[in-house]
Amino acid sequence: MKKLNNFNHNKPVLRMGKVLFALIVGLQLLFFAGCKHDDLSVPLPNENIRPAADFVKNNYEMRLFYAALKKTGYTEQLNGAGPFTVFAPTDEAFNRQGIYSTTDFDKMNVDSLKKIIGYHILPRKLMVNDMPSNGVDIRYATLTGPELYLSRAAFNPNGGVENELYIDGVEVIRKDVVVANGILHLMDNVMKPNFNKTVQQWLAAHPDYSVFVQGLKKFNLWDQLAIGTTFTIFAPNNKALEDVGITEASLNTLETGKYIGDRLFGAYILYGRHFFISDSQVFSLINNNGAYNYFLKNDSHYMNFGGGKLYPEFKLGYSLTLRSGNTISDVILNSVTSNLTAKNDNLCSNGIVHHLIRGLVTPEQAIKK
């Protein structure tokens, strides 16, 4: 009986200890809750929390791009406030340009390299949804000044959603990577414009197009290629023109007054547009007829520019077709199809030059009626 009385005597003490313990825990919880701010966030293990340069640095598939950023002094800027949009070429993209090691950049002119790398950066935030749907030849100023050209296939008029994006003819293979100070898009190649060359200078510097140059000069189409107007040139080389009966010798005998120059040589000139070979793929997705048609200057004939990816090689092809302007029945006069892309997409300061494997118009097809 005595032991039982001792037990009852200690029970209030135990209860008091439990109450004190609970009180201490509650006060600790209130303390930590009081320290919480609404704008406080806990960093998560996510790639998107890094600024652009650090993000590139920490991704193995962009180690060469990071080396180029570091070599040209862009790393500090790209870790700044921004916003930026970075079109980042993969290591494989640099490999296609013959660059395999970070030391390869040491062999390059730093100023030229800086201009090229800065061309891959926009001083703004540009997500895919900010880009015009089914837009072609959309232009944005880059960090170094010159514009780059964007084409996006978003919707198919026959139904369905498309998801292809090209910058200067280069396919974007990963889109909308959000970094702390902007957006990053992963590129399948390196963009290399001829910043200081007009299309005229580019053609003049390549002897393989000398007959084409001679024909442009003969029919007063040459001088215009030196000015700021935008051109897309589908340039036939000497062999391509020989296949349609035009050589240096035969050109010397042609009487200009008997031929429509805007058809014989103007058929290779598209005015006011930058069309890359990849744009033929975009047109195949967003146009009902899968192509882009345009009338020749000072002529009733029109051209047809189209094409698409050639599976399974995934090379971009194109076709150019010259048709008559007959409203009842269009007559196909000539057409060319090619998947040769190595000599295409030569972007210059006032346009772009593509290589054409065969001529389009024979002298007989351009005689004045």
- pLDDT mean for each 10 residues of the chain (369 residues): 39 44 45 40 52 93 95 94 94 93 93 95 95 94 93 88 92 94 94 94 97 98 93 94 95 94 94 90 85 86 80 58 68 72 82 90 91
207 and 87 in a single domain? The answer is no
Q: Are strands 84-89 and 231-236 parallel, antiparallel or unpaired?
A: unpaired
The tokens 């889109």 sit on which residue?
175
Nearest residue to 297 via CA among 268, 323, 335: 268
Strand pairing class (161-167; 147-155): antiparallel
Backbone angles phi, psi at 250, to 5 degrees: -70, -30
DSSP 208-257: GGHHHHHHHHHTT-SGGGGSSS-EEEEEE-HHHHHTTT--HHHHHH--GG
Residues 156 and 204 in one domain: no
On whether both 264 and 322 belong to a single domain, the answer is yes
Please state the length of the chain: 369
CATH code for position 289: 2.30.180.10
Task: Provide the pLDDT for residue 331.
Answer: 75
Give the model's pLDDT for residue 90: 95
Is the CB of residue 213 less than 8 Å from the CB of residue 204?
yes
What secondary structure letter does DSSP report for 367? B
- Does residue 192 fall inside a structural domain? no
Same domain, residue pair 52 and 152: yes
Candidates 334, 330, 329, 338; CA nearest to 357 is 338
- pLDDT of the residue at 8: 41
* Reported pTM: 0.80
182 plus 207 within the same structural domain? no
Give the model's pLDDT for residue 340: 54
Q: Domain total for the chain? A: 2
Asked whether residue 25 is assigned to any structural domain, the reply reads: no
Specify whether 305 is located in the same domain as 205. yes
* Domain-located, residue 10: no
Q: Quick one: 67 and 156 in the same domain?
A: yes
d(CA 219, CA 241) in angstroms, rounded, equals 16
Same domain, 180 and 53: yes
Contacts with 85 (C-beta within 8 Å, 6 or more apart), sequence order? 121, 122, 124, 125, 126, 182, 183, 184, 185
Looking at 187, 218, 249, the residue that finishes a domain is 187
In contact, 337 and 296? CB cutoff 8 Å: no
Locate all alpha helices (DSSP H) within 35-172, ordered by sequence.
Answer: 52-57, 63-72, 75-78, 91-96, 110-118
What pLDDT does 37 receive? 38
Do the domain assignments include residue 65? yes
179: helix, strand or coil: strand
H, E, C per residue of 271-323: ECCCCCCHHHHHHHHHCCCCEEEEECCCCCCEEEEEEEEECCCCEEEEEEEEE
Q: Is residue 21 one of the residues assigned to a domain?
A: no
Same domain? For 352 and 221 the reply is yes
Q: Is 104 left (phi over 0), alpha (psi -120 to 50) or beta?
A: alpha
Domain span at 76: 47-187
Domain co-membership, 224 together with 173: no
Are 177 and 237 found together in one domain?
no
Under 8 Å between Cβ of 360 and 320: yes
- Please tell me whether residues 159 and 266 are part of one structural domain: no
Q: Please identify, among 187, 222, 240, the residue that sits at the C-terminal boundary of a domain.
A: 187
Q: What pLDDT score was predicted for residue 38?
A: 38
